[in-house]
Amino acid sequence: MTFCTKVIVMYEREMEENALLRKAAGEIAATVSALIGFDVIIADLRGVAVGSSDDRWLNMLLAPARAAAESGETVETSGGRGAFSGVSCPVQSMNGRAAGAVSIAGEPARVRPFAAIVSRQVELLLRERELYAFAGNRESTLENLLQDIGSFVPGVSNEALLASRAAEFGYDRERDYTAVAVDLYQFGRFALETREQVRDKRENIQTRILNVKKAVLASIRKVFCGACDISATLGNNRFVILHAAPGEDGTAQPELTHRLAQQTLEAIEEFGLKAAVGVGAPARGIPALAVSYQEAWKALFLGKKFCTRPGVYEISEYRLEDVITTIDAPVRARYVRAVTGSFRSDPDWNQMRETIRGWCESSFSLIEAAKRLHIHRNTLIYRMDKIARETGLDLHDFRTCLNLYLALVMDQYTGPAVKEQSNAENSEF
């Protein structure tokens, strides 16, 4: 870091601290003044009053406050007409640097007993707000970091800079990482129900909803609690985790990642919420991690598209569907028409479609396909013979089955997403 850069960073930090002091000074001064019965003025490093229990002092230059801030010592003054009379004490920020001064107006002998207590109280209140602001800035920085990793473009993005930024949050470039995406399903409905619940109460609705999101993030971090794990909230009620492989060799353990993802679902359900979780492939290094990040969201999207219940969707189980998404829509539509167009108008089209998919997804096993379709083996044989008679397709021919299966998956992908089931037999998703 160059000298010029250091100066700029120091200046920015000072400006942030001054802004925080200005924002909190009025409230702090009024609170402390109500406790001790004397006017309290909080000044910045220049001695300008930025907060006061009495507005007449606001924006005035108080020489005693400036002297206290600069020297780090308590300053007592007995002013004449129009001059300030009281005790001024220095105030430090959370990092130990001078932040300004607090002055108590009144005869020094009367207000002196309060000086040390008041300055300490002001520091505690100021540091509380600093911690709150720091936590908010940290979460915002973390969110931006993960989004930058997800949008990484080789040859364009700065890999070294991203790795350095990530290292500040525990990223270990010598470990495999797996991206995990979490989406709170139908959170809008939850928000609406919350508004109904607190309609006649004084509680702030947005605060409650925000606290729920914070609690969900805390639960996620309790599950993905490895020293090198990184997680953050994204917009639209979504969360993302970069799960670091445990162990000395840093090699990914997909079974562990799946188990943690399932535990995350269970933890979210404790809030009365449902979620979908997408899991990308293990990756090492920023470029590969960016791909895993994108795969996690793709797996989540495809899982919600093809399934009827909340669950953990791994990209390894959706490679075929992932490839299908890259095919132009007109090409997909033409392929589906060419393969299924001759019999998709059949009255038993839905049954035929389910039979073909069940047969293909059961590795062409009569026993397994019958179990999957919840029908008798003889019923399955009858259905397959009927398909052969009416379409001329041989379901024992691999290429025929491959074409049919691809067409059915494309057809489902092109169609509307699976809707939430309202009956008691299905989980609400």
Domain residue spans of the chain:
3-132, 151-324, 327-414
Helix (H, G, I), strand (E, B) or coil at 214: helix
Q: What is the pLDDT of residues 25-48, one digit of tens each?
A: 888 888 888 888 999 999 988 899
Which pLDDT score is estimated for 341? 85
Which of the 8 DSSP states describes residue 245? P
Q: What is the pLDDT of residues 177-207, one digit of tens each?
A: 999 999 988 777 777 777 766 665 555 677 7
Q: Does domain 151-324 have CATH number 3.30.70.270?
A: yes
Q: Does domain 327-414 have CATH number 1.10.10.2840?
A: yes
**Sign of the C-alpha dihedral computed for residues 187, 190, 196 and 199 taken in this order:** negative
What is the DSSP secondary-structure string of 146-173?
HHHHHT--TTTS-HHHHHHHHHTTT--T
Classify domain 3-132 by CATH number: 3.30.450.40
Decide whether 3-132 matches 327-414 in CATH topology: no
Q: What is the pLDDT of residues 244-292, one digit of tens each?
A: 999 888 898 999 999 999 999 999 999 888 899 999 999 999 999 999 9
Type of residue at 200: D
